[in-house]
Structure 1
């Protein structure tokens, strides 16, 4: 696994998403098309674990969170950027999603949840905000951000 191969793996997902609206319908579709435990999901989990271990993912650390942008907004990914974070029982910095956010939750510890959700896909629509929170253990979370847009806020 390397960044180029990872890009092609994520392209399968962003090609499926296309220009659709980021909403609960898309969330349900992603969980059906690429379910937790399915082959694409498992390939992404393996790629992320490898990337973290090799140091080309989550190369930064702050506030107990390892993080990093793996892919800048790319036309080949329908304008999405890709970030991956490694969190263990904590809340991250509050931020707003001007264009929405698509999350892939990958528990490392059995039962770990992100924003109250188990393994799988979670979609936040445009102009939503949250303090990303992992509870019940450690999880990797992959973020797809349209045009890479994210605004960190003070709370």
Structure 2
């Protein structure tokens, strides 16, 4: 799995969500169209595992969290940046999503949850903030950020 192939895979997703409000209706639509076990969900999950195994995804580590911005926001991904994290029973840094955030939760351990959500899509609206938390085991989380916008907070 090359970064270019991963970018093309993600572009297929972002094409369908660009310009849409980041709200519960979008989460419901994504969970209906790309639910765990569907070919689309499996393709992204497999691509993430391959990218990590090859060393170009989640190549950085801080405080027990492996992470990395895989794709900068741009035309190829319809204005979304793509980050992937690998977390195991840990809370990440507090941050705000100025434009919102779309997350794909991919548990590596059956009971792993991200912010209380199991496998599937989670959408945070513009201006939302959280301390991303994985509990119950290990999970990969893919973050789509409109315009790559994120603000980290101290503390």
Q: TM-score, normalised by structure 1?
A: 0.98
| Matching residue of 2:137 | 137
- Structure 1, gaps ≥5 residues long: none
1:17 alignment partner, SS class: coil
1:43 alignment partner, SS class: helix
Q: Which moved more, 1:59-68 or 1:32-41?
A: 32-41
- Structure 2, gaps ≥5 residues long: none
> CA–CA distance in 1 between the matches of 2:135 and 2:85?
14
- How many residues matched? 155
Question: What is the Cα deviation at residue 75 of structure 1?
Answer: 1.1
Aligned Cα root-mean-square deviation (Å) = 0.6
Q: Is 1:65 the equivalent of 2:81?
A: no
2:117 alignment partner, SS class: coil
1:27 alignment partner, SS class: helix
| Matching residue of 1:146 | 146
After superposing on structure 2, the runs of 4+ consecutive aligned residues of structure 1 that deviate more than 2 Å are none
Instruction: Give the 5 Å matches for 1:1-155.
Output: 1-155=1-155
Q: TM-score, normalised by structure 2?
A: 0.98
